[in-house]
């Protein structure tokens, strides 16, 4: 719910940003996101490392001082790196404004000042990501998401109000974002340390505590780097090989397909620290149970929505963009891209198990192999078939990831569980959901009013989820337990 609220606020505010600042000014927001994504490699895998270590140590006794010292050590490092990066971006603002960004109506001074303010945001993002990973490791998702939803509302709605009342300039927009980021970091730091276990001993940095997790952190750094290459390489190749218009259709379709992350990431971020804690406690039977519970839930939520997006791609894009021609061009791309994204989402739980056991080498090896094998294929497909060829490569890449990664994982971890994952966790509920959506596609009227169409596809997605739940006993039993608990609570 916290993630959904934050995404919804962003989607609702974007049209106001564009209307108030203009499309060119909003392009600087995209520039900031690219800059931030590129610099995230300098995280060095320490955010997921803190997440995992706090989850592991929480499951053991008498680890309070180690947990606090470990967190303090990374805190000092993250604030130092954040300050260095922020100052670097601010100092390079004049160069970036003239050599990287090509403004039209915006003045060079305004672009330079805006990029300088971005430096503040970049500097604050590092400790912010650390505290977020720490709260996840402590399994305080509720605290994290209350803050996330509150700050997303203040950031988005507040920016619209400030732009409307004060000055509709992009510098004003980023100045507001920086002010909210300061409040966000201060709040989350306070909450994080309040949630940490208490000790009578002073909390100090201890570099020796970090040395013992350097292997895991190094593996996560490698995975993060090659994953960034993997996720961005299709866009980088297409931007050079196809027309800007075709590339725009591809980006639009990719944005719609990534809507599945609304279901994928909350399950992963909730499951990973819990799995890490259970692994540290040696509770393998509980690890197996949680693994299958979350895998079934992932299938129930992701597959029906992916099926609706794939089979009703043109209708959904028309409702979203309001442009029939644009929707018709992007719809075939969405139908393919969403398949790859859904398969990738299903593999998040096996990946979470790998990380929970500290086995980063498989993720690194798979990611490097994917880049080496599929980059030449992507170049060929994009050259020969354009954007549609790149979309097929993305889908094929993720199918290969599942085909190779799943059995490789279960040869070493949770042996004997692969068959249940394939049949009970994925195949049975997925087939039920897809069958329902396919029937709905066949029975759909040729013409519907936009409101009726929205209701129809929403009902079909919900019906597909219901069908999936019927063949997902773990999810069904989980719902029964939750409903029983709520009923008892209401009665009392």
Tell me if 468 sits within 8 A of 303, measured CB to CB: yes
Q: What is the DSSP string of 195-259?
A: HSPP-SSPP---HHHHHTTHHHHHHHHHHHHHHHHHHHHHHHHHHHHS-HHHHHHHHHHHHHHGG
pLDDT value at position 220? 64
The pTM is what?
A: 0.71
pLDDT value at position 469? 93
Candidates 106, 119, 108; CA nearest to 25 is 106
Phi, then psi, of 28 in degrees rounded to 5 = -70, -25
The two tokens of residue 114 are 């805006």
pLDDT digits (tens), the chain, 492 positions: 777 787 778 767 766 776 777 656 666 776 676 677 667 666 666 677 777 777 777 767 777 888 888 888 888 888 888 888 888 888 888 887 777 666 666 777 777 788 888 888 888 888 888 888 888 888 788 888 888 888 989 988 888 898 888 878 878 888 888 899 999 999 989 998 888 888 887 878 777 776 766 666 667 667 667 676 666 667 667 666 766 567 667 777 887 888 888 889 888 888 888 888 888 778 888 999 999 999 999 999 999 999 999 999 988 888 877 777 778 888 999 999 999 999 999 999 998 888 888 887 877 888 888 888 888 888 888 888 888 888 898 899 899 989 988 998 898 888 888 999 999 999 999 999 999 999 999 988 887 887 888 899 999 999 999 999 999 988 888 777 777 766 665 555
Gap between the Cα atoms of 355 and 473, Å rounded: 26
**Proportion of the chain in helix, strand, coil states, percent, rounded to 5:** 85, 0, 15
Contacts of 315 (CB under 8 A, 6+ apart): 327, 453, 457
pLDDT value at position 174? 85
User: Is the torsion defined by CA of 482, 484, 485, 486 positive or negative?
Assistant: positive
Give the 3-state DSSP-derived string for 119-172, with helices as H, strands as E and coil as C: HHHHHHHHHHHHHHHHHHHCCCHHHHHHHHHHHHHHHHHHHHHHHHHCCCCHHH
User: Is the torsion defined by CA of 233, 235, 239, 241 positive or negative?
Assistant: positive
Gap between the Cα atoms of 216 and 360, Å rounded: 6
Contacts of 313 (CB under 8 A, 6+ apart): 253, 256, 330, 331, 332, 334, 335, 338
CB atoms within 10 A of CB 432: 23
Tell me if 233 sits within 8 A of 378, measured CB to CB: yes
SS3 467: helix
Length of the chain: 492
Tell me if 298 sits within 8 A of 349, measured CB to CB: yes
Encode 393-415: b = buried (16+ Cβ within 10 Å), e = exposed: bbbbbbebbbeebbebbbeebbe
Gap between the Cα atoms of 429 and 265, Å rounded: 20
Query: In which residue are the tokens 């061009």 written?
Result: 329
């Amino acid at each position: 719910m916290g993630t959904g609220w934050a995404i919804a606020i962003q989607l609702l505010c974007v049209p106001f940003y564009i209307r108030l600042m203009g499309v060119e000014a909003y392009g600087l927001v995209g520039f900031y996101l690219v800059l931030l994504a590129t610099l995230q490699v300098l995280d060095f895998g320490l955010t997921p490392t803190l997440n995992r270590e706090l989850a592991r140590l929480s499951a053991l006794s008498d680890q309070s001082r180690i947990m606090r010292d470990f967190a303090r050590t990374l805190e000092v490092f993250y604030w130092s790196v954040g300050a260095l990066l922020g100052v670097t971006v601010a100092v390079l603002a004049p160069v970036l404004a003239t050599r990287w960004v090509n403004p039209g109506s915006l003045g060079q001074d305004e672009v330079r000042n805006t990029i300088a303010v971005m430096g503040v945001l970049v500097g604050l993002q590092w400790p912010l990501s650390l505290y977020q990973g720490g709260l996840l490791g402590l399994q305080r998702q509720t605290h994290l998401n209350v803050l996330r939803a509150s700050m997303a509302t203040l950031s988005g709605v507040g920016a619209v109000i400030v732009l409307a009342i004060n000055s509709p300039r992009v510098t004003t927009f980023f100045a507001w974002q920086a002010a909210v980021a300061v409040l966000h970091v201060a709040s989350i730091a306070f909450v994080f340390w309040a949630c940490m276990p208490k000790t009578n001993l002073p909390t100090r940095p201890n570099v020796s505590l970090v040395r013992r997790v350097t292997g895991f952190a190094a593996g996560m750094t490698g995975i993060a780097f090659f994953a960034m290459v993997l996720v961005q390489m299709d866009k980088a190749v297409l931007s050079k090989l196809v027309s800007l218009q075709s590339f725009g259709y591809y980006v639009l379709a990719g944005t719609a397909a990534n809507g599945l992350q609304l279901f994928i990431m909350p399950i992963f971020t909730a499951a990973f620290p819990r799995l890490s804690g259970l692994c540290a406690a040696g509770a393998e039977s509980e690890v197996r149970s949680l693994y299958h519970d979350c895998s079934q839930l992932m299938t129930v939520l992701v597959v029906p929505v992916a099926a609706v997006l794939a089979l009703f791609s043109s209708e959904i894009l028309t409702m979203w963009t309001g442009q029939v021609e644009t929707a018709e061009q992007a719809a075939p791309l969405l139908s393919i891209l969403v398949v790859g994204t859904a398969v990738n989402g299903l593999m998040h739980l096996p990946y979470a198990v790998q990380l929970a056991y500290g086995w980063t080498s498989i993720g690194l090896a798979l990611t490097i192999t994917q880049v080496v094998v599929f980059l030449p294929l992507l170049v060929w497909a994009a050259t020969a078939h354009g954007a549609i060829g790149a979309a097929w490569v993305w889908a094929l890449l993720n199918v290969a990831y599942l085909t190779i990664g799943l059995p490789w994982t279960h040869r070493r971890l949770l042996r004997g569980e692969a068959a249940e994952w394939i049949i009970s966790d994925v195949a049975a509920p997925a087939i039920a959901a897809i069958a329902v959506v396919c029937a709905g596609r066949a029975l759909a009227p040729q013409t519907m009013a936009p409101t009726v169409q929205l209701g129809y596809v929403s009902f079909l997605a919900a019906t597909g989820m219901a069908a999936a739940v019927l063949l997902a006993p773990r999810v069904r039993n989980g719902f029964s337990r939750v409903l029983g608990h709520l009923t008892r609570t209401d009665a009392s």
